[in-house]
A and B are shown apart, each in its own frame.
Chain A
Amino acid sequence: MRGLRADIVLPVLLIVGTLLTALGFVLAFTTAPLVYGAEASEPALINGQWVTNRLLLSQKIFYFHMPVAVVSFAALTFTAIFGVLFLVRRDRIWDTRGRVATEVALVFIMMTMVSGELWERFEWGVWWTWEPRLTTYFILTLLVIGYFILRTAIDDPERRAVYASALGILAFIDAPISLMITRLVPSGVHPVIFRTDSGLSPDMLIPLLLSLAGFICIALALYRLRVREQLLRERLDVLQEMLED
Chain B
Amino acid sequence: MTDAYRDFPPPIGVRTVRPSTFAQYRTLLARDLRQEFRTREMLSSMGIYAVLVLVIFGASFAQVAHEMDLLKISGGLIWALIVFTSLLGLNRSFSREREEGALEGVLLVPLDRSIIFLAKATANLLFLLTVELITLPLFFFLFLSGSEFPTTFWMILGPLGAGSVGIAGVGTLLATMTANTRGKDVLLAVLFIPLAWPLLYACVVATTAALLGPEAVEVSYLGPVVLALGYDVILIAVSWLLYDFVVSA
Contacts and interface: CB of A to CB of B under 8 A. Distances in A.
Interface string B152-184: 000000000000000000100100011011111
Mostly, the B contact residues are: helix
Nearest to A149: B190
B238 A169 contact: yes
Given A170-B170, A185-B201, A185-B223, 17 more contacts: A87-B245, A150-B178, A150-B187, A153-B182, A154-B180, A159-B249, A166-B173, A167-B177, A173-B238, A174-B197, A174-B198, A181-B231, A184-B227, A185-B227, A186-B205, A186-B223, A187-B220
Closest 6 CB pairs of A and B: A142-B194, A162-B249, A153-B181, A181-B198, A159-B249, A178-B198
Contacts of B194: 139-140, 142-143, 146, 174
Nearest to A145: B190
B242 interface: yes
Given A162-B246, A188-B219, A188-B220, A154 B181 contact: yes
19 contacts: A139-B197, A140-B194, A142-B190, A150-B181, A158-B249, A163-B249, A169-B238, A170-B173, A170-B235, A170-B238, A170-B239, A171-B195, A174-B198, A174-B235, A180-B227, A181-B231, A185-B202, A186-B219, A188-B220
Contacts of A163: 177, 246, 249
A184 B190 contact: no
A167 B191 contact: yes
Contact of A177 (B183, B187, B198, B216): B198
B89 interface: no
Contacts of B184: 153
A115 interface: no
On chain B, which size bracket covers the interface?
35 or more
A58 interface: no
B139 to A, nearest CB: 22
B198 to A, nearest CB: 4
Contacts of A167: 177, 191
A158 B242 CA distance: 16
Contacts of A140: 194
A18 interface: no
Contacts of B242: 87, 166, 169-170
Contacts of B182: 153
B47 interface: no
A171 B197 CA distance: 12
